[in-house]
Every structure is written in structure tokens, then in C-alpha cells.
Amino acid sequence: MTGGIGLLAPTLPAPKSETRLALERFLRHRSATVGLALIVLFVGVAILAPALSPYGPIATDWGAIRLPPSFAHWMGTDEIGRDELGRVIFGARASLLAGVVSVLLAAAIGVPAGLAAGFARGWTDVLLSRLVDAMLAIPFLVLAIALAAVLGPNLKNAMIAIGITTAPVFMRVARGSTLDVMTRDYIEAARAVGNPAWRIAVRYVLPNIFPPVLVQATLSIATAIIAEASLSFLGLGEQPPTPAWGAMLNAAQQFLTQAPWLAMFPGAAIFLTVLGFNLLGDGLRDALDPHRG
């Protein structure tokens, strides 16, 4: 009997989950896949740096000062004879580490604050929102420079400074998404069955504000990489002799007429990494929110 019904029933494909649909939309997004490929490339370069670098990043050769690109040194050598390719390869570590760690820090501060503001409303919301307004009133890089300057010039402090200054953006995104999620029927249902507030926030609200937070995180990594490069350009990031793309550009500026290639490669590396995250962020946004635009 059951077999008979099975034969007669129309063979409809199983409905696809939201996640699967988003994944399909993402994979169809050509520029997003290019972005992902760029990120994978740079992450791979950062991880495999010791194996990929033909020379050490701090090994000096006084007989090979400011050599133009050649077969021996694909990107030339710097003012104290260090291989530029090796320094660009190792420089990926500082940039990517700063991009990811500072955004994780920003999300760790901003998302719970935004969730609390949107969930509790009232005075909690007013106070947190005003604080965010105040932090956003100070131009991002100016505040990051001031914080990095008072904390002391090193990569760890640069990441803390960027993380703190990026946190308000996450708070805004999380708050806005929480307010939206709170109007949904499943929240009403979760309340009706007697779930405590913390459980509703963690179990039902948090997973549903994840997509916009993920998009923001990807785009913020791009901003954070530029911010780290800017701070290290100003001498407030990774300290010499450890290579960092921003600091390499600062040094290259002094030899612009004699060794212009020194200014090209670290800049191109920053540009391509940031481009990768921007492309990925745009693609994720289109995939996770197809109704937008």
C-alpha cells in the first residue's frame, strides 16, 4: 500500500535549507570566489612563509644593497640588502594576524553589547548607544593612533587599538539585527513557553544575528588590515626588524628615486589582501541577504 502511494506521489525535490541556498548563491558570485581565492592565497603564504621565502626576512647582505628585481631576488633587495620577497611573504603574517585578531576583539566587545542593548532596551540601550555615538564621533584612525600611541608602539597594542575602535561598528550591527529578530514570531513563541531571557538571547537571538555580523566581520578585516598597515607605516605597529607591509612602505619612501620597486610590492600586497576581503564581504552580503538592493 505504502509502495503504491510512493509510486503515485509526485517526486518533488526536498526543499533546500537557507544555509544551502546562501552557499549556492555565494558560489555563483564570481567576484566573491575571486576574493576567497585571494584570501586563501595570502593565508597560505603567511602559514608557509618559512618554506616559501628564499632568504630569511631579516637576513642582511651588505653586498646586495637596493638591488632591482632579478632572478636571484624576484622583488629586489632593500636598503640593508634584505630580500624584499622574503619580507613581503613574512609581512603577510603581521597584516593577517592583526586583521583577524582585532576584528575578533571588536566582535567580542561589540556583539554582546549590541545584543544587550537590543534585547534589554530602555536605559541599557540609551547608555550603550550614546557611548557608541561618542566613539564613532572620533575619526577611526585618529582614535586608533591616539590609543596605540598611549599604549606603546607594538603589534599587540596596535591590534588592541584597532579592536577597540572597531567595536562600535559591531555594536551597531548587532543592536540593529537584534531589534529586528526580536519582532519575529519564534521569539514570541520562545517567550510563551517560559524560556528565561538569557536563554532566548543566547539560543534564539544570537544565532539569527550571525549572518550580518559575519558580513561585517569580513568587511572589517579589510579595514583593520589597512589600519594596521597605517599604524605600522607611522611606526606604531610591528617594530623592526620584523617585517610589516606598512613599515616597509615607510622605509621605501626614503629611497623612492633610487629604489622605486621597494614601494611597489608591499603596497600591492596590502591592496590585494584588502581587495580579497572586500570582495568576499560583498559576496557574503549578497548571498546572505538576497533581497538587499
241 Cβ contact list (under 8 Å, min separation 6):
57, 58
CA distances from 154 to 18, 47, 90, 231 (A): 43, 21, 17, 10
Tell me how far apart the alpha carbons of residues 113 and 227 are, in angstroms, rounded to a whole number: 23
Q: How far is the CB of 259 from another protein (least distance, A)?
A: 11
Spatial distance between the Cα atoms of 245 and 265, rounded to a whole number of angstroms: 9
By the rule CB under 8 A, 263 interacts with another protein? yes
151 binds another protein (CB under 8 A): yes
260 lies in the binding site for another protein (CB under 8 A): yes
Contact 143, 165 (CB under 8 A): yes
Q: Which is nearer to another protein, 106 or 249 (CB)?
A: 249
Site string for another protein, 128-147 (x = CB under 8 A): --xx-xxxxxxxxxxx-xxx
CA dihedral over 17, 18, 19, 21, signed as positive or negative = positive
Nearer to another protein, 85 or 143 (CB): 143
Q: Which is nearer to another protein, 99 or 205 (CB)?
A: 99
Cβ–Cβ under 8 Å, residues 181 and 209: yes
* Residues 35, 293: Cα–Cα separation, whole Å: 21
| Site mask for another protein (CB under 8 A), range 217-256, x = bound | -----x---x--xx--xxxx---------x--x--xx--x
Alpha-carbon distance 221 to 107, whole Å?
A: 11
Of 58-117, binders to another protein (CB under 8 A) are none
Secondary structure letter of residue 261 according to DSSP: H
**Minimum distance from residue 131 beta carbon to another protein (Å):** 6
Query: How many residues bind to another protein according to rule CB under 8 A?
Result: 47
Does 37 engage in binding with another protein (CB under 8 A)?
no
Q: Are 228 and 220 in contact (CB under 8 A)?
A: no
Residues that bind another protein (CB under 8 A): 130-131, 133-143, 145-147, 149-152, 222, 226, 229-230, 233-236, 246, 249, 252-253, 256-257, 260, 263-264, 266-267, 270-271, 274-275, 278-279, 282, 293
